[in-house]
Amino acid sequence: MRVGIGHVRQPDEERLRLFKQLGVNDISLEFSTAPQMLTMNGFYKQKHEEKSVIESEEEGPLFPKLVQVRRWIEEEGLRLAAIEGFPGCSTEPVMYGREGSDSELERLKQAVRAVGRAGIPVLGYDWSPKGVGRTSVGKKWRGDAKVTAFETRDLGKSTEERSALSADELWRNYERFLKEILPVAEEVGVKLALHPNDPPISDFDGTPLVHTTIDDFNRTMDLVESPNHGINLGLGTWSASTENVFDVIERFGKRDEIFYVHFRDVQGTVPSFHETFVDQGNYDTFEVLRALKAVEYDGILIPDHVPQVAGDTDWGHRSRSFAVGYLRAALESIADD
């Protein structure tokens, strides 16, 4: 196990230096910046104009850019361990079964080929019509740091119409997605890691969510069997649910279905919870690390959401640095257990 850095949208030389200074070697890159990376970093282009990468029809225009991004990150002494989200496309048309879903499935396949052939081993994604849902983003916590919160009682105030999508349709469309995408992932060596729905509730203002319980994920893993089909263990989401996080680790860790970990916690569970610093929350950080060690998890631990602390940047340099340091020390403390 090793600590990584995630939620990286705009890496540059200074930020990559910070990662190395923190003792981090692995980056999870949010897809939205990948196609624009080279235009945002003139430094890279000046150093590497001679290194061209040939685009092919199967991988599309994203492939050479991902290769160049990976090379740049590696030359800074780091690893591009994962991409979060499907670069340049969306699961939404397939999720809803909308017109154009066939063509979007082909684009999704092309994105997976590009990620795999660019040498990036893991692609994280979710299957949620709502994304991450919160009812507050400014709850004051320790030292007046701001954290996100969720209160079921504050739902029902949406002006949106109830979703026409049913839970059964979500499942059918997801099975179709897996049957189309997983053979491509196997072909190019990419592991697809599914994140649980956040918040872990079955209905969000009239929209169904179907990846919230252990039973949901048992069903998910059984829909299509593949060594490239697994989960992103979103610890904060599982902690906010009524499930036992240690049962989740044992169930999916023993089957080698945990591909990477989002490491954070919350206080409280549905219907009422809020995010916290990494050193406080519902579970004991050290016991979680021991549980992951017991199932022989060998991958990255990424602090994903972090509190907003005094004087920090939008990305959270200070808060993430605290989380990284805490997790690195916690890992060292259990090394000889």
For residues 151 and 132, is the Cβ–Cβ distance under 8 A?
A: no
Quick one: pLDDT at residue 50? 40
| Domain at 2-333: CATH architecture | Alpha-Beta Barrel (3.20)
**Is 5 exposed, middle or buried, given 0-12, 13-18 or 19+ CB atoms closer than 10 A?**
buried
Quick one: pLDDT at residue 47? 45
Q: Is the pLDDT of residue 168 over 80?
A: yes
pLDDT tier, 337 (very low <50, low <70, confident <90, very high otherwise) = confident
Q: Is the pLDDT of residue 128 over 60?
A: yes
Dihedral sign from CA coordinates of 8, 12, 14, 17: positive
**Is 284 exposed, middle or buried, given 0-12, 13-18 or 19+ CB atoms closer than 10 A?**
exposed
For 161, the token pair is 């119409």
Model pTM above 0.75: yes
Most confident range, picked from 4-8, 52-56, 189-193: 189-193
Quick one: pLDDT at residue 44? 42
Q: Rounded mean pLDDT of the chain?
A: 89
Quick one: pLDDT at residue 32? 54
- List the end-to-end C-alpha distance of the chain, in Å, as a whole number: 14
**CA–CA gap between residue 95 and residue 172 (Å, rounded):** 9
Domain ranges, ordered by start, for the chain: 2-333
Q: Is the pLDDT of residue 277 over 70?
A: yes
pLDDT, mean of residues 288-312 = 96
Neighbours of 292 (CB within 10 A): 24
